Amino acid sequence: MSQRIVIVAGGCWSEEEAALLRSDDMLVGVDAGAVHLLEAGRVPDLVVGDFDTVSVETYRQLQAKGVPIHSLPTAKDVTDTHHAVDWALARRPQQILLLGALGGSRFDHALANLFLLERMADAGISGLIQDAHNRIQLHPGNNTVITVEASPFRYLSLLALTTRVEGVTLRGFRYPLQEAVLIRDFPLGISNELEVEKGHIQVRTGKLLLIESRDHP
């Protein structure tokens, strides 16, 4: 089993996302995400979805390549991406990376994908969502420390996912915090910046979204 499973959904996609794919990744295409993978010259290890955004020609191409296909009904309780995440969690990788999970015309799907980070964290699996301008992970609390390294993503924003996040301590950032409380309906943690090569984020209780981002070039 690969240490990382990459799930590619049908949202915004560019060469920058394609460049994140590694040779040893297990690749799951979600509906039109399978098209993204094929265009990047990669054959998915699995495709899932109701295939409402995949042409008949592409579907037959996947079949011809022997790609396993999980065909899902249009009417179902969970999204195609949710189904793919549950499939990946059952295989216990070290990390799940979601690409093509932001942008596009469906904000509801993008928000639902963010909530899937909590599902991954609760299962003890590192989860990450990334596109050309954002990299998002969830801090699960429990006094754990997450290290953020200097990268092309200039800004770091901290947003409470639970109602309250307590004991937030930041080291190495322009705006440090010591045992702070962040509240979901009063977002104070927007656009912090690293001042050293590595910053450290510790949270005692609550779940915190860490959003690294950069402006359009």
- The SS3 of residue 41 is coil
Using the structure block, give the residue that is written with the tokens 């322009």: 174
| Average pLDDT of adjacent 10-residue blocks, the chain of 217 residues | 89 93 97 95 95 89 94 89 97 97 87 96 96 96 94 96 97 97 96 97 97 87
Q: So what's the pLDDT on residue 75?
A: 86
Q: Are 93 and 3 spatial neighbours (Cβ–Cβ below 8 Å)? A: yes
pLDDT value for 53: 85
Delineate the domains of the chain, giving CATH numbers in brackets. Answer: 4-132 (3.40.50.10240), 137-213 (3.40.50.10240)
- Select from 70, 53, 204 the least CA-distant residue to 142: 204
Extract the tokens encoding 81: 């991406």
